[in-house]
Structure 1
Amino acid sequence: MEELARESISLLASASAKAPLAAGPRLGSVGAVFIMLKSALGAGLLNFPWAFERAGGVRSAVTVELISLVFLISGLVILGYSSSISGRCTYQAVVKELCGPAIGQLCEVCFIFNLFMISVAFLVIVNDQLEKCESSRPRAMPYHVYTDHRLALLLLCVFLILPLSASKEIHIQKYISCQMFSVEQLHLLTAQLQTVGRLIVLSVSQCHEASIAIYSSMENQRLSHWVLISVVAMIICLVIYSLTGVYGYLTFGQQVEADILMSYASHDVLMLVARLLFGVSIITIYPIVVLLGRSAMFWWQRRGDVAKAQLESRSRYTLTVAWVTATLLIAVFVPDISKVIGVIGGISAFFIFIFPGLCLVFAMRSEPVSFFLTVWGVVTLICGAFIFGQSTTVAVMQLLGKI
């Protein structure tokens, strides 16, 4: 499993992969389902009880989940098919090969922006947990600056997160791999959204971003087998997310917080331990998010320009400091993560709907795609455009205080 995690890191970081994976240990069916689940399950579980409340209850939320399931599985199948006909093994490379350089560049921009906002949301969640821990101190204890949770977050960023993120090779990866983490978990964060539909989109988009790397690593790459893997993984996700949403919603009702951990009492020892472990997990994953973001930005290295590659060290430190500083400032001064995530919620629609739909439409040029599949690609594309437009519009109006 450690080898699979390290292989996944190299796959997602290599946006310009030109050929299928080299011969070596291949991924079996169980391993593929497991990594798909690890890609789709994570911090989004903390938000589903709140999403069920915003959706109006269990019945309406589950209905939206079932409708979304059709498009989620469809997107995974399309991406696997696109990888097989393009011969590429990363999401960005497949989109660039089938849809052209312009759309490929748009895919990379969305990828980087998604990683950046994931970093912001990571720090906001850590800040929330620190604030909750701060509120658990005895009332008789006076407030001091050095007990402020924002100062604690600043110190964490300066003395722990920044040094880990600045190195060229994130050596902590091997320890994260030992905990059975893979880089696909970088995209696990889905924070406070406005509807259960948008939450589902953000929760599973990381799975779609990683799906091509998973498909390319599989021993059996028949499309029918990939369909089975996708269906099994998504149904298991549906069950887990639904059970979590139902339990949290029935427990706290309309008082449920966007982060279910925040709904529990500050003095609950088990919750304090859970917050601590969750914070440690985020802090150890954050540097790898930065690594992937830098890898996608350093486009000159991928083009083999030796002269420009000599600037790598200076650029790496500058970009890392800018990345950590910007995400820290946003996390501190925009504490309502629902507004932050709402702005980029529509980006996930690109990875689940728009890019797969475009790949299916553009595949007509070289592959015997049936008329029905072409129509389905157009429908997927239109749905993605609607979700992106609606999500972005609502988020901007919220930021402006219109709703």
Structure 2
Amino acid sequence: MSEIHIPENDDPDGVVIATVATRAARSRERSASARNHHHEPVVGLVTPRLYEQDTEELLPNDELAEDVDQDLFMSCQLTSSFGEEKGITWYKAMFLIVNAALGAGLLNFPRAFHEAGGIVSGNLVHIIFTSFALGSLIIIARCASERNCKTYQELILHMCSPGWNVVASVCISIYCFVTCITFIIIIGDQFDRAFASFIGSDFCHSWYLNRKFTMTISSLLLIFPCCFKRIDGLRFMSYVGVLAIWYLMAVIVAEFYTKNYPKGPVLYYDLEWSQIFNVVPTICFGYQCHVSSVPIYSCLKQRDSQTFTKACVSAVFVCLVVYTISANYGYLTFGSLVNADVLLSYDALEPQVLIADILLAVKSWTTYPILLFCVREAIGDLYVQMRSLSPAEASVKEPLRRKVIAVFLWAASILFAVFTPNINIVVKLLGSLAAIFIFVFPGMCMVQLVLADMEINGTASRRRNVTLFLVAAAYIVVGMFAFGLAFTLGIQHILHPDSVVPICK
């Protein structure tokens, strides 16, 4: 096959410089595409010089030129294309998904069960909404496989429309950025608990122990170097993050059996339709790995819906086990006295609890770069669209643009974290956006799948399409309900916040 190779740029994220095939090569690609729907697209970028001067020789007709334009547009959506690299296995993808989902939401689950009416009602709603979350991941897996998408917003672009792509990019940017702030706040909280336990309640008067300094310096040393990595390069960190959460779960269980903490009344079934849904924002926040799932899919060695579905099912099962055990044992330990952050209810002087505090900070360090990757890509896509840059122009400036965005986001998240008192203010608002990613957008994608199948097969599979359409409609309705509920609860929490006693006096 005759090819023209272009020298690689200095992109550390691994954006592979594509080769532009001759007309005969394009013909062979189309033949292969007809035999196999899941073909590998030409991924990468082309310099403006080649695009403007050499296409006349290589692409003698308008049809081929249009195809190259489409390939160029797709290539500019991702900074983590694999090219000829091997990729990751499904179980490594599972760890990345688990690490993206498990995190700060676990701390709020015991309190959410109490607010939902107790053990029975809390577990019931938990299982129902977890099933919905798994179903939406399967929808995303199929859509990403069919359209070969690399980011969540690109999936919405291909399945819905450019307008919805902009909406998705804005929502992703807000959600992931605020979540990054939340992780830094959690890091500061764990430092404060450790210092207060061993030094005293006046530790923050020493500048080097003050949370503003500890959050900034730890983020600079442990988070900042990872802000420029592509998402598959974070898989080793995900192992550490998942193990940290498993240890935290083990501590919650062990404290129930070995300690005798003051405990309030424990509710088992106090069902009120308005009360039971109080757990929904926490569930949505706790299971939101959908934005990260599409970039993780693009890193798979074997990119197909079956392999990715296996990773998603395994990841959701792990999350379900961890959240269920932690929520039930945490609530049974303290009853109605359980703190919104369950870890704050334990005695930090106990070594096992102190280790849990430290590992929770480690977990935040490992998850932050995954979310920063998503918001970095979303903002980059918005910038390209707002500037109306051509694919070639966007590709040439991508390395500098990515670095600038990453540095700005990291610095801004530190600044906001310094002046935000606690995570409870934002968890429910984040849950409202998570409901959009988990329910609404996947439902819209399923509608488009059904419509596309009807165009191809007509009424041949009418019953199946009607069923899928009703499921998609249910996802959209449930998503809008969960969004409205979580947003309302979030606003109420801002207007009437819980009293927070500072650790350092």
Alignment of 1:50-129 (within 5 A): 50-129=111-190
User: Structure 1 vs Structure 2: percent identity of aligned residues?
Assistant: 27
Give the CA deviation at 1:67.
1.3
Could you tell me the TM-score, scaled by structure 1's length?
0.77
Q: How does 1:2-401 map to 2 (within 5 A)?
A: 16=77, 25=86, 30-31=91-92, 33-138=94-199, 144-146=205-207, 149-153=210-214, 155-156=216-217, 160=221, 164=225, 169-170=228-229, 177-181=235-239, 195-207=278-290, 209-210=292-293, 213-214=296-297, 217=300, 219=302, 221=304, 230-283=312-365, 285-287=367-369, 289-299=371-381, 303-304=390-391, 306=393, 313=400, 316-317=403-404, 319=405, 322-368=408-454, 370-401=465-496
Structure 1 unpaired stretches of 5+: 1-5, 186-193
Say if 1:296 and 1:171 are closer, same or farther in 2 by CA, change over 3 A.
closer
CA gap 1:79/1:218 in 2 versus in 1, 3 angstroms: farther
Asked if the contact 1:80–1:212 (Cα under 8 Å) also holds between the matched residues in 2, the reply is: no
Q: Deviations over 1:139-179 (max 9, x none)?
A: 597873426533333542685368537x7x449995x5444
8 Å CA contact retained: 1:55, 1:196: yes
Root-mean-square deviation over aligned CA pairs:
4.1
Aligned counterparts of 1:226 and 1:288: Cα–Cα separation in 2: 18
* Superimposed CA distance per residue, residues 245-288 of structure 1 (whole angstroms, 9 cap, x where no aligned partner): 11111122222223332222132222223322332443355355
Partners of 1:217 and 1:238 lie apart in 2 by 24
- Alpha-carbon separation, structure 2, partners of 1:172 and 1:364: 31
SS in 2 for 1:274: helix
Change (3 A) 1:233 1:181: closer
Give the 3-state SS of the residue equivalent to 1:334 in structure 2: coil
Q: CA deviation at 1:17?
A: 5.2
Q: Give the match's secondary structure for 2:339.
A: coil
Contact 1:17 1:93 in 2 (8 A): no
**CA displacement at 1:100 relative to structure 2:** 0.8
**Comparing 335-344 with 62-71, which one deviates more in the overlay?**
335-344
Cα 1:251–1:83 change in 2 (3 A) is same
Pair 371,21 (structure 1): closer, same or farther in 2 beyond 3 Å: farther
Stretches of 4+ aligned residues off by more than 6 angstroms: 140-143, 182-185
Structure 2 segments unaligned to the other structure (5+ residues): 1-12, 15-42, 44-74, 244-276, 455-463, 499-505
Q: Identify the structure with bigger relative contact order (alpha carbons < 8 Å, sequence gap 6+).
A: 1
1:99 Cα shift?
A: 0.1
Q: Distance in 2 between matches of 1:365 and 1:172?
A: 33
Question: Displacement of 1:370 after TM fit?
Answer: 0.5
With over 3 angstroms needed to count, the CA separation of the structure-2 counterparts of 1:34 and 1:162, relative to structure 1, is: closer
Q: CA 1:136–1:16 in 2, change beyond 3 Å: closer, same or farther?
A: same
Q: CA deviation at 1:316?
A: 4.2
Moved more, 296-305 or 76-85: 296-305
Q: In structure 2, do the counterparts of structure 1 residues 401 and 69 end up closer, same or farther at CA, with 3 Å as the change threshold? A: closer
* CA–CA distance in structure 1, aligned partners of residues 230 and 490 of structure 2: 37
Name the aligned partner's letter for residue 477 of structure 2. Answer: I
- The 2-side partners of 1:237 and 1:281 are apart by 15
CA distance in 2, matches of 1:385, 1:115: 20
- The farther-off stretch of 135-144 and 333-342 is 135-144
More helix by share: 1
Letter in 1 for 2:323: Y
